[in-house]
Every structure is written in C-alpha cells, then in structure tokens.
C-alpha cells in the first residue's frame, strides 16, 4: 500500500485575497526541500502531499520537511481508495496488539453513507476483532489512528502529527541582513526572523589576526546550519581589525564597544541597502550585557538612518534562547571556544548607560567615514546553499 506524506500549513489560512501567493511560494519551497529525492509534491483540495518516494528515504524526507518554514505539521500516511472495509482491514493490521486505542475519523466526502462517528465505530470493530487484547479508550488512548476521508474518493490513515517549525514561507516577507557573530544568540535571531518569511543574508565582522581563522569558519558553519531553515544565504565578511585598532587608539576605552557597535550598524545598513535587504536583524536581548541596556541600544540605533532593526530576542531569557539554539542545532557549534571580535581590546569597565552626545564627540576623533568605506570595499562574500 502506498505511503505518502501529508503536509499541513498554519498561519497562511488567515490570509485573505493573497493566500494564493503564500501557497504557491510554500509549494515551491517544499519542492526545493525534497529536491534530490525521487518523489512528487502534489496539491489536492488545499493540501500538499509528497508521494512516490522510496520507503527507505521516508525519514530523510521528513527531516527536510520539518525545517520548511510555513509548514505546521505533517503525517506519514497510508493512501487508499475510500472503501470502509479496506480501511478497516488496514487499521486492524497496523493497530497495536494490546493496550488502548481510539479511531478518529474526519469525513469530508458526504457521499459516504455513514457519519464520522459511525465510521470510527465500524473500523474500531475491525481492530478489536483482529486484536483481542486491545481496548478502546476515547480520552487517553495509548495510540490514536486517524482516518481522513477526502472528497475525491481517497482516504488517508495515519498515527501521528509531527510538528514542523510553523511560520511563513521563506521569501514571502522579502530579504534581511542579520549581524551574525559566533555566539549563541544571533543564529537564533536569524532563525526566528526567517520563520516570519524573510530570506536572510548574514554579515560578520572579524578581527584577524586577533581572532583566528577558526572563528570565521565557526560563523560559516553556523550560517550553514541555519540556512537549512532559511534557504540560500550570502555571508558578508567584514575585516574589522583596523577599525578596532583605530577606536582603541583614539577613543576612551570604556566607549570601545559602543563605538564599535555603531560602526558595525553603519556598515550593515549600507551593505543591506546596496543589496536589496529591507531590514537588519541582531541577536540583542535586553539587559544581557552592558551593550544591551536601553541606553546602549538607543545610542547604537541612532546611527541607523533608513531601515528597521529587528531584535527578535529582545524579550527572551538566555535559557529560552539556548532551548531554540539546541532545537535548530546551532548550540554545539556556538559554544566552541573561538573568540569573537568583541573580545578584542575589551575594556574592563564598558559604559552601561552611554549618552549620545558624548559618544558622538568621542567618535569624531576617528575618520570613520573613510574606515567604513574601506571596510565595505574589501568585504569578502561567501555564498551558502
């Protein structure tokens, strides 16, 4: 009997007239996700199905599908012609031999001459006849067998709903640029915004030789892992060493991080605009470190002229961020001990509540326009995916 994968989407249901746009994009993203496997993705009566794959590829295909933004859940299902006896025999075969179970039936096909409750009872009977040690428990069954009777004469039988990541189809919200460090937070920030339908590119600032080439590799590894969710990604690698050296030599030590951040943001915004990105993403979380107080964020944000800055982790605790990092598979890489550029020339007492006018005055000691232009000219681009 043919096994298929049944896909369900979530929030797109809430869309009005432009729902077709989201559905088509999601379908195209699903097709890309299963590329390379011999299978077809079909749409029928507002649902997506993956069919025609070799049994041994099932779990690999499922692994890919649960990462597709916009999908809410999936089920591995048996597909058969709508025939109550045939469905009964199948269910009797796959039902557990003992313990408790229930049948849950959804009948969209009103030509079938029974209600869904009646069908559940008939099929339950098949299961009990074949498996005498089995009992029915409608409230807390050990196993639930779902039967979906569709309008087109086809039925689907399955056990579980496997959760996918939800969200909106990648690309439906446009493109963004994420400041990606080697830490725990920014890959999670990137993932969370991709989930809202953004294609995301990344920008990383590195301070070779103060930070090792391994630190850069680590960021590219992180980009690779998140790109399994967010799709093909361009990583802009900006050489930050000279800028840091200049700040270190010309500005008060306690302003180092604030000024560095302002220059990072200026560079990010320019690269974003030049490359069609409509927003900037950071992994900041309020109060996590000195550069993430309201005052610090105000001063950093003040250099941004055109784009919105999205900080999806702003209200999240570290523990919650770590949970997501583990879920998406970036955590183990993030905790590898390669230093970030922010640790270079790190002052003992960074300012916690910087004032904009004082920082602006300190910054005037730098020819930062020239430094920014040079950094942008020398950016290295790595394409991922």
Smaller CB separation from ligand ATP, 78 or 331: 331
Closest CA to 354 of 256, 245, 248, 247: 256
Instruction: Provide the minimum distance between the beta carbon of 356 and ligand ATP in the complex, in angstroms, as a whole number.
Output: 19
Closest CA to 300 of 238, 356, 369: 356
- Strand pairing report for 162-163 and 47-51: unpaired
Phi, psi of 348, deg, nearest 5: -65, -40
DSSP codes, 157-211: EES-PEE---SB-TTTTEEEEEE--SSSHHHHHHHHHHTBTEEEEEEEEE-TTTS
> Exactly one of 341, 351, 366, 375 binds ligand ATP (CB under 6 A); which one?
341
Smaller CB separation from ligand ATP, 165 or 202: 202
Smaller CB separation from ligand ATP, 291 or 333: 291
Instruction: Provide the minimum distance between the beta carbon of 342 and ligand ATP in the complex, in angstroms, as a whole number.
Output: 5
Instruction: Provide the minimum distance between the beta carbon of 180 and Mg ion in the complex, in angstroms, as a whole number.
Output: 10
Which residue in this structure is represented by tokens 């009566």?
45
Which residue in this structure is represented by tokens 């070779």?
208
Residue 342 in contact with ligand ATP, rule: CB under 6 A: yes
Question: Which residues have CB under 8 Å from 275's CB, separation 6+?
Answer: 175, 177, 201, 234
Smaller CB separation from Mg ion, 5 or 328: 328
> Exactly one of 183, 187, 231, 354 binds Mg ion (CB under 5 A); which one?
183
Residues 87 to 146: which contact ligand ATP by CB under 6 A? Answer: none
Residue nearest to Mg ion (CB): 183
- What does the alpha-carbon distance between residue 272 and residue 284 come to, in Å, rounded to a whole number? 18
Partner touching 258 among ligand ATP, Mg ion, none, CB below 5 to 8 Å by kind: none
Smaller CB separation from Mg ion, 30 or 190: 190
Instruction: Provide the minimum distance between the beta carbon of 280 and ligand ATP in the complex, in angstroms, as a whole number.
Output: 9
> Exactly one of 181, 258, 279, 330 binds ligand ATP (CB under 6 A); which one?
181
Residues 145 to 174: which contact ligand ATP by CB under 6 A? Answer: none
Residue 288 in contact with ligand ATP, rule: CB under 6 A: yes
What is residue 382's three-state secondary structure?
Answer: strand
> Exactly one of 23, 148, 201, 284 binds ligand ATP (CB under 6 A); which one?
284
Confirm if 129 and 164 have CB atoms less than 8 A apart.
no
Confirm if 3 and 90 have CB atoms less than 8 A apart.
no
**Cβ–Cβ contacts within 10 Å for residue 110, how many?**
8
Closest CA to 346 of 294, 289, 285: 289
Retrieve residue 79's tokens.
């597909």
Q: Tell me, by CB under 5 A, how many residues bind Mg ion.
A: 3
Residue 311 in contact with ligand ATP, rule: CB under 6 A: no
Instruction: Provide the minimum distance between the beta carbon of 124 and ligand ATP in the complex, in angstroms, as a whole number.
Output: 52
Smaller CB separation from ligand ATP, 29 or 230: 230
Question: Cα(first)–Cα(last) distance of the chain, in Å?
Answer: 36
> Exactly one of 29, 75, 155, 181 binds Mg ion (CB under 5 A); which one?
181
Largest Cα–Cα separation, the chain: 86
Q: For the window 186-225, what string marks contact with ligand ATP as x by the rule CB under 6 A?
A: x----------------xxx--------------------
Confirm if 147 and 101 have CB atoms less than 8 A apart.
no
Instruction: Provide the minimum distance between the beta carbon of 6 and ligand ATP in the complex, in angstroms, as a whole number.
Output: 37
Contacts with ligand ATP by CB under 6 A lie at 179-181, 183-186, 203-205, 282-284, 288-289, 291-292, 340-342
């Amino acid at each position: 009997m043919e096994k298929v994968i049944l896909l369900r989407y979530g929030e797109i249901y809430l869309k009005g007239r432009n729902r077709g746009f989201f559905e088509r994009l999601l379908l195209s993203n699903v097709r890309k996700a299963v590329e390379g496997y011999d299978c077809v993705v079909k749409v029928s009566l507002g649902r997506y199905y993956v069919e025609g794959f070799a049994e041994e590829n099932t779990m690999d295909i499922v692994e890919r599908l649960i990462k597709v933004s916009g999908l809410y859940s999936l089920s591995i299902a048996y597909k058969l012609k709508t025939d109550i006896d045939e469905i009964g025999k199948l269910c009797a075969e796959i039902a557990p031999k003992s313990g408790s179970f229930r049948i849950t039936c959804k009948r969209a096909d009103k030509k079938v001459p029974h209600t869904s409750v009646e069908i559940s009872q008939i099929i339950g009977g098949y299961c009990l006849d074949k498996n005498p040690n089995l009992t029915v428990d409608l409230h807390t069954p050990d196993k639930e067998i779902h039967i979906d009777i569709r309008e087109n004469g086809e039925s689907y039988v399955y056990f579980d709903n496997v959760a996918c990541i939800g969200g909106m189809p990648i690309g439906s919200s446009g493109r963004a640029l994420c400041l990606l460090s080697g830490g725990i937070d920014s890959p999670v920030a990137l993932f969370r915004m991709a989930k809202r339908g953004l294609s995301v590119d990344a920008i990383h600032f590195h301070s070779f030789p103060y930070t090792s080439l391994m630190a850069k590799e680590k960021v590219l590894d992180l980009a690779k892992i998140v790109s399994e969710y967010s799709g093909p990604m361009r990583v802009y690698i900006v050489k930050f060493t000279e800028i840091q050296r200049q700040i270190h030599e010309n500005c008060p030590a306690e302003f180092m991080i604030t000024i560095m951040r302002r220059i990072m943001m200026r560079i990010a915004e320019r690269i974003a605009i030049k490359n069609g990105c409509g927003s900037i993403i950071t992994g900041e979380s309020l109060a996590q470190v000195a550069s993430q107080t309201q005052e610090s964020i105000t001063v950093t944000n003040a250099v941004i002229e055109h784009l919105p800055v999205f900080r999806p982790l702003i209200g999240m605790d570290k523990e919650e961020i770590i949970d997501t990092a583990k879920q998406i598979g970036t955590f183990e890489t993030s905790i590898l001990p390669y230093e970030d550029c922010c640790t270079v020339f790190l002052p003992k007492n960074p300012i916690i509540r910087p004032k904009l006018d004082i920082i602006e005055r300190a910054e005037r000691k730098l020819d930062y326009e020239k430094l920014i232009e040079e950094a942008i000219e020398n950016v290295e681009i790595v394409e991922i995916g």
